[in-house]
Structure 1
Amino acid sequence: MRRSIFMLAVLAGLCAGPSRAAPSEADRTAIQAVIRQQLDAFQADDATRAFALASPGIRRQFGDPETFLALVRQGYPMVYRPRETHFGALDEEDGRIVQKVAFVGPDGVLVTALYMMEREPDGSWRIAGCVIARAPSESA
C-alpha cells in the first residue's frame, strides 16, 4: 500500500513543475552529492538524515522519517543496501531534472533508478522521487 502511495507521489511529481534549464556541471556535482548523502544515511539507518534530503512534497507525503525509511527498507532494497552504485546521465525530461543511477542490489540484480530532483528556493537540491526499473536482460 505504501509503495503504491510512493509511486503515486512520484508520478504526480513528474507531471508537476515548471520547465527547467539544462543541468550544469555544478548541478551534476550537487545532485550526485545529495543522492550519495541519502545512500550513506540509508547505510547508517539514519532515517532523519535520509528524510531531510527528500523534497518537501515527499516529506509531506510520508510524514515522518521512520515511515520513509521503512518504505525504502522494505520496497527498495537495491537502494537501501546496494552492492554497487554507478551514476549515469543527468538529463532534463519533461521539465524535471532526472539523475540516472545504476544499482546492483543485494540480490545481485542490476536495476536503473531515475531520481527526480527538485531545486529548493535556497538553491539546494532535494530528491523528489525515485523510480526503479530492472535493467534489460542480456540475450544469449
Structure 2
Amino acid sequence: MASRLVMLMAAVALTGMVLALPARAGDASDVRAAISGQIEAFRSDDGASAYSYAAPNIQAMFPSPQIFMGMVRSGYAPVYRSSNTVFGALEAEGAGFRQEVYLTDQNGQSWIASYTLERQADGSMKITGCAIRKGDDLAA
C-alpha cells in the first residue's frame, strides 16, 4: 500500500513538472509568427489574411473577415494600428500559450496585448483570444 502511495505521489509530481515546462523553441517561433503575421495583415488592411490567424472559436464568433476586421477596428485599435511591437515572455497555459506583446499606438501610448494561442490539429498555431490594457508610459 505504501509503495502505491509513493508511486502515485511521484506520478503527480512528474505531471506537475511536465505541465510547468516552458514552451519549446518551435512553439515560440510559431506563436511569434502567428501574432506578427496578423499584426502585419492589420497594417495592410488585409482582412482575409488577418482572419486566417484566428482560431475556430474566434471565427465562429465573427463568421467573416469583414465582421472580424470591424470588431478589431472598433475594439482593438492599438493592435490594429500599432507603431511598435515588442514580445515579452511566452508561457504555457492550459492546452496552449499566453504571449504578452507590448505595443505603441499612433498617439505614443503604450499598450499590453495578452494573446492566447493553441496549436491546431493541422499543426498550425492560431490565436484564440486577445485582451488589451493600457501601459504606463507615453513615447516622447
> Shorter-normalised TM-score: what interval?
0.7 to 0.9
- TM superposition score normalised by structure 1: 0.79
Cα distance in 1, alignment partners of residues 21 and 42 from structure 2: 30
| Higher Cα radius of gyration | 2
Structure 1: any 5+ residue segments left out of the alignment?
1-18
Amino acid at match of 1:24: R
Superposed displacement of residue 94, structure 1: 4.7
Summarize deviations over 1:111-133 as a string: whole Å, max 9, x none: 11111001100111000000001
Report the CA distance shift for 1:20/1:113 in structure 2 as closer, same or farther (over 3 A): same
Structure 2: any 5+ residue segments left out of the alignment?
1-18
Moved over 6 A (4+): none
Superposed displacement of residue 20, structure 1: 8.6
- CA root-mean-square deviation: 1.9
Match of 2:6 in 1: none
Q: Percent identity between the aligned chains? A: 35
Superposed displacement of residue 62, structure 1: 0.6
Tell which has more relative contact order, 1 or 2 (C-alpha 8 A, sep 6+).
Answer: 1
Amino acid at match of 2:49: R
Summarize deviations over 1:17-52 as a string: whole Å, max 9, x none: xx7963111110111011111011111111111111
Cα distance in 1, alignment partners of residues 69 and 93 from structure 2: 27
Number of residues of Structure 1 aligned to a counterpart in Structure 2: 120
- TM superposition score normalised by structure 2: 0.79
Cα distance in 1, alignment partners of residues 98 and 136 from structure 2: 20
